[in-house]
Amino acid sequence: MKFKTDRDAKLGYWLILPTVVAISTLIFYPVFYNLWLSMQEVNMNPIQPNTFVGLAHFIDILTDLDFWISFRTSLIFTITTVIGTTVLGLAVALLLNRDFPGRSVIRGVILLPYVTPVISAVFGWKYLFNPVFGQANYFLVDILHLFPQHINWIESPAFAIYAVIIFNIWRNFPFAFLMILAELQSISASLYEAAEVDGASAWQKFKHITLPELKFVLGALVILRTIWNFYKFSEVYLLSASVNVLPVYIYEKAFASYDFGQAAAISAILFIFVLGFIMFYVKKVLEW
């Protein structure tokens, strides 16, 4: 490749300069700073210098059992919530894609979980699942007698992961719903009419018309939600400190153990992992 130097090209360089500067300062600088940090023993006192430790942090992390436990928790959380939000969003979108009185009101109401500030939603759920006063325990234990005694759904490490998954699906399915509904409305009715003439069942229409038409929006939803949820911190940590997904693990390394270098190394590992996943997914699943 050769750089053009004529007048038009020079003007062109000037025009793209702001973008280049913005991307370099906002994206490249933090990424490289993070990589640099991951090879340092960071000193908390800004006056004292850091020490270079090479790949020591990476070796420490990859041989640390806690990291792999967190990694597993993150995978479970991401896979279940991605499937959950997409399937629930799809189901609700299909249900609400037909005409009935009050449809627009219902569609608006469905969006509420997504637009409620996360902290207010979290406090609502905390009371819902409170071990003593909560309605969940009242219903499941006192009325249905499904469990022998009240359970601390939110704080007990054994149950908290379920609470966090359910909360995340509840909160994020409206996004999938919105995207899928928009796509559904653009599918031409004539396709379904033609299928009906051929005697296709409801399932066949769904499988051969709706799903193929939705392929790209579903594919985009899955990859976006995977990226978002793999790095999800707020919704997990605010609801329960007992679910140690990777972002929480990084947070505790950086801010409770004061180990910025290790925390940076973990984010570098995650970055490589997620990048690999995206490249595989885009190529093989989306076939772009």
Using the rule CB under 8 A, give the single segment among 9-17, 92-100, 153-161, 177-185 that binds another protein: 153-161
Judged by CB under 8 A, the chain residues 159 through 178 that form the site for another protein are 159
**What are the CA-CA distances from residue 17 to residues 21, 27, 29, 75, 193 (Å)?**
6, 15, 16, 40, 53
Q: Which residues inside 251-270 make contact with another protein, applying CB under 8 A?
A: 252, 254-258, 260
Determine how many CB atoms are found less than 10 A away from the CB of residue 255: 11
> Kindly report the CA angle at 239 between 235 and 244, in degrees rounded to 5?
80
User: Angle at the Cα of 164 (from 163 to 170), degrees rounded to 5?
Assistant: 90
Residue 35 near residue 210 (C-beta atoms within 8 A)? no
With respect to another protein, which residue has the nearer C-beta, 37 or 90?
Answer: 37
Toward another protein, which CB reaches closer, 31 or 95?
31
Question: In this structure, are residues 78 and 223 in contact, taking their beta carbons and an 8 Å threshold?
Answer: no
Cα–Cα distance for residue pair 195/199, rounded to 1 Å: 6
The minimum distance between CB 228 and another protein, in angstroms, equals: 23
Nearest-approach distance from CB 253 to another protein, in angstroms? 10
- Phi, psi torsion values for 213, nearest 5 degrees: -65, -30
- In the complex with another protein, the residue whose CB is nearer, 92 or 245, is 245
Nearer to another protein, 242 or 267 (CB): 242
- The 231-250 site mask, x for binding another protein (CB under 8 A), equals ----------xx--------
Q: The tokens 């000193």 sit on which residue? A: 43
Q: Tell me whether residue 58 or residue 159 sits nearer to another protein (CB atom).
A: 159
Select the residue interacting with another protein from 34, 50, 97, 156 (CB under 8 A).
156
Scanning residues 87 to 146, which ones bind another protein (CB under 8 A)? 131-133
Binding site for another protein (CB under 8 A): 44-47, 131-133, 149-159, 241-242, 252, 254-258, 260
